[in-house]
Amino acid sequence: MRRELTEWQLLDMWEAGHRQAPPARALLLAAAVAPSGATVADLPLAELKALQLDLRERSFGTVLPCVTDCPGCGESLEVSVMTDELRAPGQRKAPGDGPELGTLHAEGCKVTYRALTGRDLLAVHGASGKVRRTLLRRCVVGSEPADSDLPDVVLEALAERLADHDPGADTVLSLTCPHCRHAWTAALDVAEHLWAEVEAYARRLLYEVHALARAYGWSEADVLAVSPLRRQFYLGAATG
Ligand SMILES: [Zn+2]
């Protein structure tokens, strides 16, 4: 069932994530539209991103405006990306099917692994040192022979497998500059992009509450109960 996000919920989400680290905000965004009871922290990253894209479509539509600088000529470019282009092909629609396990044979080791999750990213956030190794280790569910210290070469083989195991976990855009024809790829962090939009929306909403509360003596609840279209009218009347 589709869940629409009210402005109240959006403000609550913004407040909850305001001082949080990016991996925590990514989970908040996904949880806003996840089926109730789902633990988004344990979803593979591509499924987490699918939920964030669901939220993006319901809250702000399917066209994602991105601004980037061309590395060839330095020109600032505005690119519009459709949310559908950012989804992994053949992605499972319903999250919560449980972790899909893979098996890797390398250097005489048999490794059972799962995809990276938001919980993994949260766990290493702010850590220094062997973050990559820690992340890879977290994906190992079991190994034979049982050895807690898997060699780097095995973990590197695992890293290659993970990309195929969770296609679409990373979002990479192929761009071509219309000015100099330079072609390049750029990573897009869907969650951080969406969070910036939530932040901008929340701040604008709070400003509207402030302006209307001052003009008419309305409470925050009074203002949010008025539809956005009517609010614009009252704002115009109050400030005009
Ligand atoms: Zn260029």
Cα of 65 vs centre of ligand 1, distance in Å, is 18
CA of 77 to the centre of ligand 1 (A): 9
pLDDT band of residue 240 (cuts 50, 70, 90) is confident
pLDDT digits (tens, 9 = 90+) for 95-151: 556 678 999 999 889 999 999 999 999 999 998 888 999 999 999 999 988 766 888
Residue, of 168 and 181, whose pLDDT is higher: 181
Q: Is the predicted pLDDT of residue 1 greater than 70, yes or no?
A: no
Query: SS3 for 80?
Result: strand
Alpha helices in 38-148 (DSSP H): 45-60, 118-124, 131-139
> What backbone torsions phi and psi does residue 18 show, to the nearest 5 degrees?
-50, -45
The average pLDDT across 42-71 equals 94
- 177 CA → ligand 1 middle, Å: 5
Bridge partners of 109?
A: 106
Domain map of the chain by residue range? Answer: 7-91+170-239, 102-165
Nearest to 163 by CA among 81, 83, 88: 88
- Which pLDDT belongs to residue 94? 53
Average pLDDT over residues 221-238: 93
**Helix (H/G/I), strand (E/B), else coil: 174:** strand
154 burial via Cβ count (<10 Å: 0-12, 13-18, 19+): buried
- Average pLDDT, integer, range 169-189: 93
pLDDT at residue 239 is higher than 70: yes
What distance in Å separates the CA atoms of residue 196 and residue 68, rounded to the nearest whole number? Answer: 15
Distance 60 CA to ligand 1 centre (A): 29
Q: What is the pLDDT of residue 97?
A: 60
How remote is the CA of residue 188 from the centroid of ligand 1, in Å? 19
pLDDT at residue 96, rounded to an integer: 53
Terminal Cα-to-Cα distance of the chain (whole angstroms): 42
Is there a contact between 58 and 100 (Cβ–Cβ < 8 Å)?
no
Q: Which amino acid is residue 48, in one-letter code?
A: L
More confident residue, 5 or 93: 5
Centre of ligand 1 from the C-alpha of residue 112, in Å: 45
Looking at the chain, the whole-number percentage of residues with pLDDT higher than 90 is 76
CA of 72 to the centre of ligand 1 (A): 5
